[in-house]
Structure 1
């Protein structure tokens, strides 16, 4: 009997390993660095952004480990778009290269789940590289099962690590300090200012552009009712999402099963089958020096009148001074790109991420910033109006352009502003300005089309590679 065909031959120890990442919000980059650190003793290990690599550099690597996120409808992250368009348009010759792909995505986008990572795998296979193991698809930040498979595979390559060391870690306890409606009477949805304070002041540690991951939960009343109905002890502990957790907390952060899903089922099996709520990501609208984290949250209301999971929790269900489970995530792709001139473009709750950057520039007395912002109505939806006036008064904002779609006929949006200001934007770019975009996918796509019309694809690609064009979009 021949066993060799059942197992893929591993690369020889001590060779070169290239760990490349394609990251939109920093999660894939973090996994790449943790993977590289775990492999540090097994050979010469290098970490690089995929978008910065040439085909020749990839070919020279003995082993290529790719950690790739998928953004939008199966698309490459911003930093890898030029790579996808130029390098992946046709196969290369990577004979002798060993590779493996860890693909990150969101399973709610089932048709395009981990689409870019899978595209990378197909391209490398077509380029005659040798796949070490099948693509591992990871659903969000807390997919312990998939990350365990990745841990096992890189351990076979010589890594010294554990799945806990590769994953982000548990959420921390924060408290709801303030909740205030910012746009009463608006023609759009309600937008709320949310302020949180940490149980441990050491968690006041982030940079402008970073992300807050918040776990929504069921109300205390709903949890109490469920436990009482099924005669369950909420103080029992179970291994859940990689950590020992009280049953009460597991129930609180999961979809409540229907009665027929619980009856006659062993408790261990019930816990295993519970569908935990995924965290919701929010752009942070403040700096840690303020002593609290501030968010700008649009309350989502479904057609049946029920509230969106994350926004409903923050804007209505959570109680004042109640605990909010939160985990900070560094987002290098949207952190401050430097001290030069800066154009900040956004709409709606995208003002959150732009506000933190303007606070950062104000603290450093930088000036030379230009804000282009759009919303529905000036009287109701100009968030942080007093802040904008203060930035104008102290010179942080050298130029401000605002547009309100419901106040104009025909309607005008922030992408229209970008097109109209094309010549001035080009002049700012010519003197080294960076561009930050924060807000929804549709707005960001419109802004990108407008920028392409102003500077062209090659220039925008170069700005992306140089860190001068950065986006936080959702």
Structure 2
């Protein structure tokens, strides 16, 4: 039973009734009741009812912003708000004129670009005027500090909302790829502010953390490597691996189109080069974010991004080294020169080319962000490979500025993840890359190189479901005899009728290079017919060139075969995207 202090303004009978009513309530129930009583008191006293509505607007490319928006809505509801989620793909800026409290969670990808599904909202917001004087807002921007235009979309939306008269609840948060702590701090600040303004429950009533026994981003699962096979021929210039992992005991589930997040480790030779350049042994003790202490060499292997260079890292090193040359490179009128210098270089080059007189282990660690996971499109159907997940990974090895380099995660998987070893991983669900719900709907898949990974999963899934819908794959690589990834599987699927058509382009086998977009143009008439009868169009692979070239080819196909102007063809594509019939998984 609850005991009330003697000065409480209740008689003994009221105290007994209240004690009986409140005993046994959990934290969520008492939190809700607190907000309800506060609001009820305001109304009963003749005050206007407080607006507890809250809109969480998100723009996402890979699903991170949507996931955080979902967490935010759940927290808001537990705090007594009437919270709703709104995708930028379904919103117009004028919709915000009816909103009182707005939280924006949006990512930036490519060279400072908004998520593809958010382009219309973003462009309209920046160019058209809406009246937002009654709007309270805050922005959480997701990005990657290795890119110059870090969090650019979030920054521009934040500035534009303020220009249109909206008032900031709290300052914008700019989150790097390891966004959990930054997001949590932003959310705490937001709900501290909203908690008192809306007479809702105290901000302490937040969603509970997942139990430690559950595997996920905070607690990655150690998946056993079941198999690792090089898919290329002996004479290929490429090294593409097919990897199979066991999910037994993970509790994970996934669908074709989802992503496996791999937590890599840095290579020993890369660590050795960095320690030599720093003049450190690696035995020094360092303290990481959160207070954990480790030997430097262990932290460099497991915890820190020891390669990625950005303007932020260069600036921090200039302050440590005092280099006047670096100061010149960091000048506002030298941005192009700095970008050119950074291209192809790593942190070790910074230490070698602009040495510091003295460097402590703590200073070295201060340069680096947390080692981010790498996201790989899943190449298997869970129905076809129960208890397993498969990946298709290209090992990245190259020479830059006279030094041999290698991709952190891809060569970790290629060189260090042997059969029987354990690799830390977790699932990331990509709702923006999904098979049609109707198994009779035709699908067109464009996936050169490792971009074919999710389409292996798509075809396997449809085969297991006995889907009747037609399927057409466009695949490309360098050489037919060396680089035709999963060739025998595709031939079996064609034979069994699980794959209707396949068109291939091997760029180095012909006098003139031929790519998947060229094959699309060759098949323009039939491709347009498939679109007209409702086919869904999918693209996976390189965003910088391939995806753009494929999009241009699609515009040409629709224009030439549909008798449309370029503008009308682009409008046709925009409608495909709106109807979820044009989906891309690009990187």
Structure 1 residues 107 and 271, CA, compared in 2 at 3 Å: closer, same or farther?
closer
Structure 1 residues 445 and 379, CA, compared in 2 at 3 Å: closer, same or farther?
same
Asked if the contact 2:106–2:141 (Cα under 8 Å) also holds between the matched residues in 1, the reply is yes
Q: Identify the residue that residue 8 of structure 1 maps to in structure 2.
A: none
Q: Identify the residue that residue 295 of structure 1 maps to in structure 2.
A: 391
- Cα drift, residue 154 of structure 1: 3.0
In 2: Cα distance, 1:174 partner to 1:223 partner: 25
Asked if the contact 2:74–2:207 (Cα under 8 Å) also holds between the matched residues in 1, the reply is no
Asked if the contact 1:348–1:375 (Cα under 8 Å) also holds between the matched residues in 2, the reply is yes
Structure 1 residues 71 and 271, CA, compared in 2 at 3 Å: closer, same or farther?
closer
Is 1:366 the equivalent of 2:404? no
Asked if the contact 2:174–2:182 (Cα under 8 Å) also holds between the matched residues in 1, the reply is no
Given candidates 552, 572, 576, the residue that maps to 1:459 is 572
Is 1:216 the equivalent of 2:264? yes
Q: Identify the residue that residue 337 of structure 1 maps to in structure 2.
A: 436
- Within a 5 Å distance, the mapping from 1:26-65 to structure 2 comes to 26-40=63-77, 41-65=79-103
Aligned-residue RMSD, C-alpha:
3.1
Q: Deviations over 1:33-90 (max 9, x none)?
A: 1001100143221101112012332211111111101111111112112223344322
- Cα drift, residue 221 of structure 1: 9.7
Is 1:449 the equivalent of 2:552? yes
Q: Identify the residue that residue 314 of structure 1 maps to in structure 2.
A: 413
Q: Deviations over 1:214-250 (max 9, x none)?
A: 1211358999999x955579xx9x875x697976864
Structure 1 residues 217 and 272, CA, compared in 2 at 3 Å: closer, same or farther?
same
Given candidates 472, 491, 494, the residue that maps to 1:392 is 494
* 2:251 aligned counterpart, secondary structure: helix
Asked if the contact 1:151–1:162 (Cα under 8 Å) also holds between the matched residues in 2, the reply is no
Is 1:206 the equivalent of 2:254? yes
The gaps in structure 1 that reach 5 residues or longer are 1-11
Q: Identify the residue that residue 584 of structure 2 maps to in structure 1.
A: 471
In 2: Cα distance, 1:270 partner to 1:55 partner: 45
Is 1:104 the equivalent of 2:149? no
Asked if the contact 2:169–2:193 (Cα under 8 Å) also holds between the matched residues in 1, the reply is no
Aligned length: 453
Q: Identify the residue that residue 528 of structure 2 maps to in structure 1.
A: 426
Given candidates 94, 97, 102, the residue that maps to 2:132 is 94
The 10-residue stretch of structure 1 (245-254 or 39-48) with the greater mean CA deviation from structure 2: 245-254
Q: Identify the residue that residue 161 of structure 1 maps to in structure 2.
A: 206
Is 1:127 the equivalent of 2:175? no
In 2: Cα distance, 1:255 partner to 1:93 partner: 44
* 2:227 aligned counterpart, secondary structure: strand
- Within a 5 Å distance, the mapping from 1:104-253 to structure 2 comes to 104-110=142-148, 112-158=149-195, 160-161=205-206, 168-198=217-247, 200-203=249-252, 205-218=253-266, 231=283, 250-253=299-302
- Within a 5 Å distance, the mapping from 1:256-271 to structure 2 comes to none
* 1:470 aligned counterpart, secondary structure: strand
Asked if the contact 2:140–2:183 (Cα under 8 Å) also holds between the matched residues in 1, the reply is no
In 1: Cα distance, 2:121 partner to 2:91 partner: 8
> Larger % of strand: which?
1
